[in-house]
Amino acid sequence: MFSIYFLLLAVLIFIINIFFSKKERNTHFILETFLKWFFLIIVGLGCIFAFMGHTFNADETAKMIGWGTGSPFQFEVAMANLAIGVTGILAFWFRKTYWLAASTVYAVFLLGASCVHIMQIAENNNYSPLNSGFFLWFNDITLPIIIFILVLWYLKLDKKK
């Protein structure tokens, strides 16, 4: 559920930023503004939030995913989330091809995680809250695809500029 809050926060800040900006509101500017906030809040803060859950609340997080508790893999997932979160925060300042790399890492990690979650559903009927449903389809599949497509669109527009 936290994904929705991060998305709403990113969209709210994006709208405020667009509304108060003195720059021309063309497609390139709008995409750039949206992506910088998307990277900072959704990728950056969202993945750091996931890192904290997998680190400081590991057993409860594991239960919400339908995993066993006490596994050292939980810390590995936490470190992957931390790395992607830091990358998302850096993406706020570094743009263009950095965004392509950051969105690729984000997409590969989450789409890979979605494959594991789907296999867990198929093989073990694991319909735990953080393994299935809205979280799976929105957080692990939809968001990484959207950000990757928007980055490609932005880079295409940027070449024309």
**95-131 tens-digit pLDDT:** 888 999 999 999 999 999 999 999 999 999 999 999 9
Eight-state DSSP code of residue 23: S
Instruction: Kindly report the pTM of this predicted structure.
Output: 0.92
Per-residue model confidence (pLDDT) at position 118: 97
142 token code pair: 């939809």
- Rounded Cα gap, residues 75 and 14, in angstroms: 33
Q: Classify the phi-psi angles of 133: left when phi > 0, otherwise alpha if psi is within -120 to 50, otherwise beta.
A: left
The amino acid occupying position 35 is: L
Report angle CA 121, 127, 132 to the nearest 5 degrees.
80
**41-75 tens-digit pLDDT:** 999 999 999 999 999 999 999 999 999 999 888 99
CB 132 within 8 A of CB 16: no
